[in-house]
A and B are shown apart, each in its own frame.
Chain A
Amino acid sequence: MLKYGFLLFLILITAAGCRQQTATPSTDLNIMLAVEPDPLIVGDATLVITVNDASGAAVNDAKIAVRGDMNHAGMMPVFAEIDSGTDGKYRVPFEWTMAGDWIVEVTVTLANGEQVVKSFDAEVNTSQNMPEMTTENGSQTMPEMTTEAES
């Protein structure tokens, strides 16, 4: 019985190491997310993703993939993609399918294949339930969560 338990333990430890690990970013990117319309309400929206390199120069030739998850498990994620930007800004059509707390994960794939992933928090409301929010240039800048990179 003990050896089976030990075998199970080994399997589980192995399983724990299966998840794809993220590497330390080698490219320093500044990724910002703003959302139109503001404040965030259920329905169609545009994510304005700004990508600049470490020197502040706009990055226009990246591919952007966006994934929106509600913070509750089991809800259908929302995906969107775009291939090019202007002045470092990528306008991604998106849809907030439900009110609540969202986690928006932005994956920037550079021309050299390197990926940088950054997550943002978003609070989406129904049109009847809109709290006061800080705005910036007609759109809301989302708080940053984490940055990861994959190569």
Chain B
Amino acid sequence: MAAQSKPLERPRGLFDVLQLPLIGRVLRWRWGRLVLQIPLAIIALLLVIDGFTGPQTASRNLATVTPWIHYRGLVVIALLLAGNLFCMGCPFTIPRTLAKRFSLPGRRFPRFLRNKWLAIGGLFTLFLLYEWLDLWASPLLTAWVIVFYFVASFVLEVVFTESAFCKYVCPLGTFNFIYSTASPTQIAVKNHNICQTCVGKECVNGSYSPTPVIRLDQIAGGAPIEVHYGPDGTPGCGTLLFAPQIKSNLDCTMCLDCVRACPYQNVGLMVRTPGHELIQPDAWPKRWDVSFLVIILAFMGLSNAFGMVPPVYEVERWLAETFNIGSELIVLFIIFAVANLLLPVGITLLAASLARIFTNTTRKFSLRDSVAAFAPAFVPIGLGIWIAHYGFHFLTGALTIIPVFQEFLGMAGDWQRFGAITTDMNIIGLVQGGALFGGLLWSLVIAQRTSLRLYRRDGMLGLIPWALVLIGLALVAVWIFGLPMEMRGSTLFN
């Protein structure tokens, strides 16, 4: 009974974005998501067309310039300043409504896959393929990746009732989920009492149904606003989040289906303190898969950037010669397995173990709980690393999209004018330094608060191993971004 009377989680929101005059109205509109999705879908189709039919020089093709320069640059900025806007406008989910029509009834994603291990595997595979196939240099392969995304999203929507692709598979969505936890917005309800008496729970169940629905509470008293039930209704949360229990942006695509489905207009997109959930002890599940996903993604930020600097070729050459390996894929797999799996897992377990030993809490906290408690601290430093990397490409090449698009339209690309405009390297250095230093500082604050919460008087002792890991990550990042960058496919194996 005590658990029932406990108030549900609600962030201290300053205001509801959906109450803003124009933006709120558009977003709440039944087709509001399409307003974002259609432009992005058109862009995606243009990329596919140019990738298949245009010149195969990466710098002159929309299929490579747009995703590898602009998407990546803008997504990290949006995550930091606004929220998970790119999942909100994701064009890959447009066929969702169509897929719903064909959806096999009642089949859920296999239970053993309902975790983040598949997402970790997806990210690992994507980054491995990115390096091995030089996706950044191939418009054709990038176009195939986009097509694969559309097909995979549609097929999984057809086969399973929930949005399995978004929640368990999509590497882009996984990236956005993780770093939207640092964002200043979150879905939340306005009045928990309404949720407790709500009969339909439309925010998660939806008002969509192949056949008309009669709602019991409407018979009793009528609904406060008009909600369509039946085939014209709104689907509920695709990732099966229940709005009044949302404590985190993890798994939230910000599709706002919950907002539209709620018959009481009780769900909002609240502004909150950026990263509010990262210092909330119960915001995230204490699971190995979630914790390692966050930590591994920060390490992936390093390995992805490491792939652009000269030492990586020395490492590749050394591995190939030492172990007599003739396959680039195997060499890259070894590098990525070490950098993206063994190192983060090993270092994390070591840090957690040392913290427990230093604070004499080995019996009080399990290793899993210790890792889970400190995992949120890896979000800011990870985001800082990704901003430093993607921000570099965006700031150096943002305007090249203009001559590329001119050429796509059959005009002469004005490369002399737009191709030569780039942000001053000193400013880029400041942005990179600011992202890394700011991320580290933010991470250390989270780790310190976590340590004090867990270990009380021994908080500083418990902090030491984790702080060393975070500082180490930042130092390696500074080293990598301080090296001269090289853009090459691995010629070692050609």
Contacts and interface: CB of A to CB of B under 8 A. Distances in A.
Interface string B395-410: 0111010000001111
Interface string B406-431: 01111000011001101000000000
B491 interface: yes
Contact of A73 (B64, B416, B420, B488): B64
A54 B372 CA distance: 71
A71 B58 contact: yes
A19 B407 contact: yes
A70 B59 contact: yes
A57 interface: no
A77 B488 contact: no
Given A71-B488, A73-B68, A123-B488, A12 B45 contact: yes
B308 to A, nearest CB: 8
B488 A101 contact: yes
| Range for the number of chain B residues in contact with chain A | 35 or more
A74 B53 contact: no
B343 interface: no
Contacts of A126: 310, 484, 486
Contacts of B200: none
Contacts of A128: 310
B419 A77 contact: yes
Interface string B185-208: 000000000000000000000000
A12 B46 contact: yes
B49 interface: yes
B313 A76 contact: no
A101 B136 CA distance: 12
B59 A77 contact: yes
Interface in B109-161: 134, 136-137
What secondary structure prevails in chain B residues at the interface with A? helix
A100 interface: yes
B134 A19 contact: no
Interface string B41-58: 010011001100111011
B65 interface: yes
A74 B416 contact: no
Nearest to B64: A73
B278 interface: no
B489 interface: yes
Contact of B410 (A12, A20, A119): A20
Nearest to A20: B410
Contacts of A100: 485-488
Contacts of B488: 71, 99-101, 123
Contacts, number: 116
B65 A101 contact: no
B419 A71 contact: no
Interface in A42-80: 42, 67, 69-77, 79
A33 B127 CA distance: 35
A70 B314 CA distance: 21
Contacts of B420: 76
Contacts of B64: 73
Nearest to B410: A18
B393 interface: yes
A147 to B, nearest CB: 14
A135 to B, nearest CB: 16
Contact of A71 (B45, B314, B393, B487): B487
Interface string A117-130: 00100010010110
A123 B310 CA distance: 13
A142 interface: no
A103 B55 CA distance: 12
B309 to A, nearest CB: 10
Contacts of A111: none
A29 B400 CA distance: 32
Given A15-B409, A19-B54, A73 B489 contact: no
Interface string A1-35: 00000001000110110111000000000000000
A-B CB proximity, top 9 nearest: A74-B397, A100-B487, A18-B410, A72-B487, A74-B69, A101-B488, A71-B137, A73-B65, A73-B64
Interface of A: 8, 12-13, 15-16, 18-20, 42, 67, 69-77, 79, 98-101, 103, 105, 119, 123, 126, 128-129, 131
Interface of B: 42, 45-46, 49-50, 53-55, 57-61, 64-65, 68-69, 134, 136-137, 310, 313-314, 393-394, 396-398, 400, 407-410, 415-416, 419-420, 422, 484-489, 491
7 contacts: A12-B46, A20-B410, A71-B59, A72-B58, A74-B69, A98-B485, A103-B57
